[in-house]
Amino acid sequence: MFKKILIANRGEIALRVMNTCREMGIATIAVYSDADSMALHKINADQAVYIGKSDPADSYLNMDKIIDAAKETHADAIHPGYGFLSENADFARRCESENIVFIGPPARVIDDLGDKTKARLIMKKGGVPVIPGMTQSCPDHAVMAKEAKKIGYPVLIKAAAGGGGKGMRVVDSETEMEDACNQAQSEAKAAFGNNAVYLEKYLKKTRHVEFQVLADTRGNVVHLLERECSIQRRHQKIIEETPSFAMTPELREEMGKAAVAAARASGYVNAGTVEFLLDTDGKFYFLEVNTRLQVEHPITEMITNIDIVRQQIQIAAGMPLDFTQNEIRGRGHAIECRIYGEDPENSFFPSPGKISYIKEPAGPGVRNDCGVYSGFEVPMEYDPIISKLIVYAADRKEATCRMINALSQYVVMGIKTPIAFLMDVLASEQFQEGETFTDFIETSFDGWKQNADDADLAALIYIIDEMAGKKHRQSGICLSKVNETPWQTLGNWRM
């Protein structure tokens, strides 16, 4: 087993990985940038190596610096977390050539699955259902229009190197095709340095359902059941749950088999996620494979009782999986809410800044994977995720109530967060009845504003804090001051 693992990431996920390393008796090495010199992942690691300026290109995306840090500290392996270099085949290759184990799939697999058209082709050959459309990128809008006519409008133009909704366009009719094609190409070029786009059928009213897979180096592949992640804003998930409301044992078996087939078809090793769209008729289509630890992995850990990071490390160390598909059972229900530093009343606009106060929720079945603390300045250079609140309970109804209660006790001050928004989503009839489709927020929560039910109480608290709070706060400090005038001690007063 490894003695030291360098974690090439920051924030909550770096801390998450560190926890398992510690439990396994493995020393942890953090890397950090200027903006993160006081970050929790830097503070908590056994060793921390400075790798450069705050701009990701100078630090968390800089392969040379991360490899140097690993060599300098004699790390046996690198865990890339999610984002940054986690799905970068060149980085995986580089680790290999430097004799450092990359905790993730082989570089070739990352390459193949990172190209969306190639991935579609692999899946099609492997017998995994894909969304009708092209298996090759296409630079010509006329060819696209021809294909669209064949599969029927509306269609979706997607970037071959894509992800995160960039370079994506829904096209409703032939007249829109040329413009949409050009826009998607230039957006893809700007986001990924590659303007290749392709076309597939646009499916309405779908759920995002994904399967966690684990594959060892001996050819054993299992899936750890599904996660439903339909509730998204800007094509990014904000609430995830398992099991999916739409799942039946038969469908789970069928989709699970497809996920395992997808992993086998691509020669997958380590932990990965096979994403599908599921329509209202129970038909499902391959979307993509994420070749990394997924943000929402904790909900799977809660219901299967399997530590996915531990599995990743064991697989990377060459150990076989120590359970078979039949031994994997899901118990109860888990929900995750992503707590981003953003303003739900203003199009989820980022809200960086100093966290003046944070109180994390606790209680039975409550887990908060958090990367910040009171007094920490949330940097503007990185992803705005500050924590993931996860709950586990006997069933969906109990889990929903547990999440609402946990959110109501979660206090984050100094930056904006979607806590109140998430509470309203969970309390909504649509959510409780499982009417969760990928357009959930646009159709049910567009232009959301927090209700003002407790505004009177807030006004009273303001006045109490003005009248008594200040005096109380100063009482401890003021003892040492002797030469005060009444004007300094009186505080705010009015007539």
Partner 1 sequence: MEYELKVNRDNIHVDVDAQEDRGLRASICRKIEENTDKDTDKNLYDVHYDIISDHRILMTVDENGHARQVNAYVSDGPEGKTIAINGRYYLVKDLETQRQRGGKGSMPDTPDLITPATPAVVVKIHVKVGDCVEKGQKIIAVSAMKMETTLCAPYDGKVLKINTAINERVAPGQILVEIEKSEADQADTSGKEID
- CA torsion sign, 235 to 241 to 245 to 246? positive
Name residues contacting partner 1, limited to 379-418 (CB under 8 A). 380-384, 407-411, 413-414, 416
The verdict on 473 binding partner 1 (CB under 8 A) reads yes
Select 266 or 294, whichever has its Cβ closest to partner 1: 294
Q: How far is the CB of 184 from partner 1 (least distance, A)?
A: 17
Q: Is 464 in the site for partner 1 (CB under 8 A)?
A: yes
**Antiparallel, parallel or unpaired: β 197-201 and 411-413:** unpaired
| # of chain residues touching partner 1 (CB under 8 A) | 52
As a whole number of angstroms, the distance between CA 62 and CA 101 comes to 18
Alpha carbons within 13 angstroms on the beta-carbon side of residue 88 total 18
Closest CA relative to residue 6, chosen from 92, 70, 82: 70
> Which letter does DSSP use for residue 233 in this model?
E
Residue 490 engages partner 1 in binding (rule: CB under 8 A): no
Q: Rounded distance, CA 5 to CA 70, Å?
A: 8
At position 139, the amino acid (one-letter code) is P
CA distance 61 to 47: 20
Residues 6+ apart with CB under 8 A from 211: 223, 224, 225, 226, 227, 255, 256, 259, 273, 274, 276
One of 280, 469, 481, 484 touching partner 1 (CB under 8 A): 469
Contact present, 78 and 101 (Cβ < 8 Å):
yes
From 330, 341, 365, 371, residue interacting with partner 1 (rule: CB under 8 A)? 341
Verify whether residue 22 is a known catalytic residue.
no
In the list 175, 248, 280, 356, the residue contacting partner 1 (rule: CB under 8 A) is: 356
What tokens does 49 get? 């190596």
Exactly one of 36, 216, 275, 342 binds partner 1 (CB under 8 A); that residue is 342
State how far the Cα of 171 lies from the Cα of 157, in Å rounded to an integer: 7
Question: Which residue number, 155 or 378, has a Cβ lying nearer to partner 1?
Answer: 378
Scanning 194-202, 285-293, 323-331, 344-352 for contacts with partner 1 by CB under 8 A, the matching segment is: 344-352
Among 193, 326, 456, 479, binds partner 1 (CB under 8 A): 456
Of the candidate residues 71, 204, 359, 397, the single one contacting partner 1 (CB under 8 A): 359
By the rule CB under 8 A, 362 interacts with partner 1: no
Task: State the nearest-atom distance from the C-beta of 468 to partner 1, in Å.
Answer: 6
Best CA proximity match to 134, nearest among 209, 228, 61, 200: 200
Beta bridge partners of 228: 209, 241
Give the residue among 311, 224, 362 at the shortest CA–CA distance from 17. Answer: 311
Rule CB under 8 A: say whether 480 interacts with partner 1: no
Give the strand pairing for 4-7 and 77-79. Answer: parallel
Q: Provide, rounded to whole angstroms, the least separation between the CB of residue 72 and partner 1.
A: 28
Task: Tell whether residue 71 is a contact of partner 1 (CB under 8 A).
Answer: no
Q: Is 38 in the site for partner 1 (CB under 8 A)?
A: no
CB of residue 394 to partner 1, shortest distance in Å: 23
| Residue of 420, 432, 435, 448 interacting with partner 1 (CB under 8 A) | 420
Please give the structure tokens belonging to residue 75: 């790390």
Kindly name the residue from 292, 338, 367, 402 that is annotated as catalytic. Answer: 292
Length reported for the chain: 495
Residue holding tokens 């932990």? 271
Residues 103-162 that bind partner 1 (CB under 8 A): none
Cβ at position 209, least distance to partner 1 in Å: 26
Q: Does residue 455 touch partner 1 according to CB under 8 A?
A: yes
Pick from 98, 9, 80, 86: nearest CA to 45: 9
Is 170 one of the binding residues for partner 1 (CB under 8 A)?
no
CB of 135 to partner 1, least distance (A): 30
How near is the Cβ of 84 to partner 1 at its closest, in Å?
A: 11
488 is a site residue for partner 1 (CB under 8 A):
no
Please, what is the minimum distance in Å from the beta carbon of residue 475 to partner 1? 10
3-state secondary structure of 350: strand
- Could you list the residues that contact partner 1 (CB under 8 A)? 55, 341-342, 349-353, 356-357, 359, 380-384, 407-411, 413-414, 416, 419-420, 423, 449-469, 472-473, 492, 494
Positions marked active-site: 292
